[in-house]
């Protein structure tokens, strides 16, 4: 078991990562909840790790003080005298922990010489002993780690890309269930998609000991999968295989690949881990194929264009007709339904996703994404503490879940928690560096905070990121809006205006696009009337999600005293049952 357990609030994850890395550099075995296995209840794992740790570092902040999880972990450590405390932002520990010394890490940047860090290190050494010295590299240690590169689509059809991507994701998920193996997050690995890379360079860059690469060829009812495991230090092939089977054998092939890697690395697969790997949520290949297709639309579709949600809902519904007990399809269905329901209003035929999310959790309580429709429902009905609990649960279940980080950031932004939103959006963009939408929201959040240096930095990245998106999807409203914002932020106002005009010509009914185009018009063109012209039809047709955004968004503050804006916002809030001052449900609204 680990020498040191690190407890922290989710929004403080960058600090927790820095603390863990500093301790590992000193030779300690450190555990934090980004290492939660996918097949066990997180509460059981945390309790086990807490009890076995020789030292428990609790990182206090304003967010940590408000977290029941952090308080519970601190109390457990205090009771067995393993508690080490540090403050990240000057916040003092709450009672009764304020009776114990607390190191100050407010200005700490990761160096080993600061007084606050020396206090932490001394306390850890007193509790856990002096660490054994070893090379500061995961690659040169005995610790085994792996990156599953996205398998190449060899089908000759671009539309089959979803299938090869899905195979890569599933193998990543399978290997993450092996407790003795650290696995690079899917979205980190996917930054190398379509590139010709040196395997040793990938291993060095990601600090992993091994790399898995492969290809998928799907034709009719046949599938051919090749895979090879490569030593990250030497570049040697440790194992390679080609599978040429019927499509119905796809699950067996994935199981065989995962088990072959475990054998090649000479790892012991525990019985519960073997069972978890073999549990894919469905045994029906047709349902699985439909789910992979739906997820691809969800990830790459045009945000704000309801056709994305409609496609995902139809595909998931068809998958569930085939296999009604497919939890992942239920979870994705719930996300798409919630997004559609809260984007538009006045249509009682739309489903809010709650039933689908609850069905997913009843079938598999470890699916992080299934908590997100619940978080949206609670947040947009004024039940912020309960929404916070759902967000924390989702992030604890899967800290590397792109959807959880992104959706939580969107919720926080609507609650006026701009700094919290920025932290999660930064994480979201790291998890999926091709996700221009997260980067666009991050740009808007920095703009609302007035951090123009970061705004320009994000804008420069976004123009490059969006160019290939518009090349293959020229009427993508979200991309058009964010590239217009980017060029405006970079001072290229004429080019920004061209994209604004193009967006309104190609996708005038995209409510989110109209809303997002108001940002550059207000902040860089100082054109209030044009911004109001864009917002008026958007707010007239928007659901609670967009109306709550209009209430909280600092980028619209220049309109707050405008009678026209006040009138349209009040009318929209009354129509969807929101308080125009707070964005929460009014007392008279049905909830």
Q: Greatest CA span in the chain, whole angstroms?
A: 70
Beta-strand pair 4-7/55-60 = parallel
Query: pLDDT digit string (tens) for 476-520?
Result: 889 999 999 999 999 999 999 999 999 999 989 889 899 999 999
∠ at Cα 106 (49, 82), nearest 5°?
25
Per-residue pLDDT, 481: 94
Give which of 579, 521, 518, 587 is closest to 552, Cα–Cα. 579
Whether residues 227 and 178 share a domain: the answer is: yes
182 is a domain residue:
yes
| Same-domain status, 104 and 157 | no
% of the chain at pLDDT higher than 90 = 36
Residues of the domain holding 194: 145-280
The confidence band for 386, taking pLDDT boundaries of 50, 70 and 90, is very high
Distance CA 158, CA 66 (A): 48
Do 373 and 403 contact (CB within 8 A), yes or no? no
Cis peptide before 96 (omega within 30 of 0): yes
- Residue 311 belongs to some domain of the structure: no
* Mean pLDDT, rounded, of the chain: 85
Q: State the pLDDT confidence band at 343, using cuts at 50, 70 and 90.
A: confident
CATH number, position 174? 3.40.50.10610
Determine the average pLDDT of the residues in 219-230. Answer: 89
Residues 272 and 153 occupy one common structural domain: yes
Most confident of 140-154, 196-210, 306-320: 306-320
According to DSSP, residue 578 is labeled B
State the pLDDT at residue 346. Answer: 46
Q: Report how many domains make up the chain.
A: 2
Check whether residue 115 and residue 165 sit in a common domain: no
The count of residues in the chain is 591
DSSP 92: P
Query: Where among 280, 299, 327 does a domain terminate?
Result: 280
159 occurs within a structural domain? yes
Tell me the DSSP string of 400-452: T-HHHHHHHHHHHHHTT-HHHHHHHHHHHHHH-TT-HHHHHHHHHHHHHHT-H
Q: Per-residue pLDDT averaged across 465-474, rounded? A: 88
Is the domain of 200 the same as that of 244? yes
3 state SS of 35: helix
| Mean pLDDT value across residues 52-65 | 90
Which CATH number fits the domain that encloses residue 40? Answer: 3.40.50.10140
User: Is residue 183 in a domain?
Assistant: yes
Same domain, 56 and 174: no
Q: Both tokens of residue 69?
A: 């999880």
Together in a domain, 150 and 63: no
In a domain, 329, yes or no: no
Q: What would the mean pLDDT of 410-422 be, rounded to a whole number?
A: 91
Q: Which residues of 146-176 are buried (b: 16+ CB within 10 A; e: fewer)?
A: bbbbbbbbbbeeeebbbbbbbbbbbbbbbbb
- pLDDT of the residue at 134: 42
Q: Compare 200 and 1 and report the one with higher pLDDT.
A: 200
Most confident of 47-61, 229-243, 476-490: 476-490
Distance between CA atoms of 37 and 276, rounded to whole angstroms? 10
Last residue of a domain, one of 96, 128, 160: 128
> Alpha-carbon torsion 442, 443, 445, 449, what sign?
positive
Q: State the Rg of the chain over Cα.
A: 25
The CA distance from 223 to 252, in Å, is 12
Q: Provide mean pLDDT across the span 385-404.
A: 88
Instruction: Give the C-alpha separation, 284 to 483, whole Å.
Output: 41
pLDDT at 582: 56
Q: Per-residue DSSP letters for 153-211?
A: E-SS-GGGHHHHHHHHHHHHHHHHT-TT-EE--HHHHGGGTT----HHHHHHHHT-SEE
Assess whether 102 and 32 both reside in one domain: yes
Per-residue confidence band for 110, with pLDDT thresholds at 50, 70 and 90 = confident
Separation CA 431–CA 307 (nearest Å): 25
Distance CA 166, CA 343 (A): 28
Of the candidate ranges 36-50, 74-88, 180-194, 277-291, the one whose mean pLDDT is the lowest: 36-50
Mean pLDDT of 519-538: 95
- pLDDT exceeds cutoff 90 at 380: no
Q: What confidence category does residue 585 fall into, taking pLDDT thresholds of 50, 70 and 90?
A: very low
Q: Do strands 30-31 and 152-153 pair parallel, antiparallel, or not at all (unpaired)?
A: unpaired
Does 268 lie in the same domain as 149? yes
Residue with tokens 């300690």: 28
Place of tokens 């607390």: 102
CA 400 centroid distance within chain: 6
Q: Convert the pLDDT of each residue in 111-165 to its tens digit.
A: 666 678 878 888 888 888 876 544 333 333 346 889 999 999 888 777 678 888 8
Residue 335 lies in a domain: no
The answer on 221 and 175 residing in a single domain is yes
The pLDDT assigned to 428 comes to: 86
**Range 194-221 burial, b when 16+ CB lie within 10 A, else e:** eeeeebbebbeebbbbbbbbbbbbbeee
Within-domain flag for 493: no
- Amino acid 2: pLDDT: 65
The confidence score (pLDDT) of residue 421 equals 93
| Segment 53-63 mean pLDDT | 91
Q: 173 with 68, same domain?
A: no
10 and 88 in one domain? yes
Q: What is the pLDDT of residue 138?
A: 38
Which of 220, 250, 280 marks a domain boundary? 280
In the chain, what percentage of residues exceed pLDDT 70? Answer: 91
Average pLDDT, integer, range 422-444? 86
Does residue 119 form part of some domain?
A: yes
């Amino acid at each position: 078991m680990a020498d040191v357990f690190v407890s922290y609030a989710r929004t403080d994850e960058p600090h927790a990562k820095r603390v863990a890395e500093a301790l590992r550099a000193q030779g300690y075995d450190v555990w934090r909840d980004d290492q939660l296995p996918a097949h066990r209840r997180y509460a059981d794992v945390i309790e086990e790790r807490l009890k076995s740790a020789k030292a428990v570092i609790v990182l206090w902040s304003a967010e940590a003080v408000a977290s029941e999880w952090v308080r519970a972990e601190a109390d457990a450590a205090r009771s067995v005298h393993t508690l080490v405390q540090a403050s990240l932002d000057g916040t003092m520990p709450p009672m009764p922990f304020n009776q114990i010394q607390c190191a100050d890490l407010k200005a700490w940047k990761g160096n080993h010489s600061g007084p606050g860090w020396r206090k932490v290190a001394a306390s850890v050494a007193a509790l856990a002993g002096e660490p054994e010295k070893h090379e500061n590299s995961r690659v040169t240690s005995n610790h085994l780690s792996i990156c599953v590169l996205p398998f190449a689509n060899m089908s000759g059809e671009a539309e089959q890309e979803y299938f090869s991507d899905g195979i890569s994701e599933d193998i990543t998920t399978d290997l993450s269930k092996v407790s003795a193996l650290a696995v690079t997050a899917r979205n980190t690995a996917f930054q190398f998609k379509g590139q010709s890379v040196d395997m040793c360079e990938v291993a060095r860059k990601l600090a992993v000991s091994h790399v898995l690469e492969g290809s998928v060829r799907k034709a009719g009812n046949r599938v051919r999968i090749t895979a090879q495991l490569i030593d990250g230090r030497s570049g040697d092939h440790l194992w390679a295989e080609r599978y040429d089977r019927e499509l119905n054998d796809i699950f067996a092939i994935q199981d065989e690949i995962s088990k072959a890697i475990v054998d090649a690395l000479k790892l012991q697969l525990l019985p519960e881990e073997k069972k978890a790997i073999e549990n894919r949520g469905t045994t029906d290949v047709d349902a699985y194929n439909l789910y992979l297709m739906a997820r691809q639309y969800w990830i790459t579709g045009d945000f704000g264009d309801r056709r994305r949600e409609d496609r995902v809902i139809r595909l998931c519904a068809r998958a569930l007709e085939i296999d009604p007990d497919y939890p992942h399809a239920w979870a994705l269905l719930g996300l798409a339904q919630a997004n559609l329901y809260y984007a538009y209003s006045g249509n009682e035929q739309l489903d809010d996703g709650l039933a689908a999310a609850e069905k997913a959790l009843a079938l598999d309580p470890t699916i992080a994404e299934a908590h997100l429709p619940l978080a949206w429902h609670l947040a947009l009905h004024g039940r912020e503490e309960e929404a916070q609990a759902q967000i924390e649960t989702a992030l604890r279940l899967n800290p590397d879940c792109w959807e959880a980080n992104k959706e939580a950031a969107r919720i926080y932004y609507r609650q006026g928690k701009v700094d919290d939103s920025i932290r999660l959006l930064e994480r979201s963009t790291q998890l999926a560096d091709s996700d221009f939408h997260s980067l666009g929201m991050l740009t808007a959040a920095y703009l609302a905070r007035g951090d123009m240096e970061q705004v320009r930095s994000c804008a420069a990245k976004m123009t490059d990121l969006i160019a290939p998106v518009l090349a293959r999807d020229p009427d993508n409203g979200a991309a058009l809006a964010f590239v217009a914002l980017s060029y405006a932020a970079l001072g290229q106002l004429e080019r920004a205006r061209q994209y604004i005009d193009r967006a309104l010509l190609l996708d005038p009914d995209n409510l989110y696009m109209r809303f997002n185009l108001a940002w550059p018009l207000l902040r860089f063109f100082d054109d209030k009337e044009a911004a109001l012209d864009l917002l008026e039809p958007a707010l007239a047709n928007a659901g609670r999600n967009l109306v709550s955004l209009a209430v909280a968004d600092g980028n619209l503050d220049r309109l707050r005293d405008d009678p026209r804006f006040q009138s349209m916002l009040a009318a929209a809030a009354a129509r969807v049952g929101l308080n125009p001052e707070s964005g929460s449900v009014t007392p008279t609204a049905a909830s």
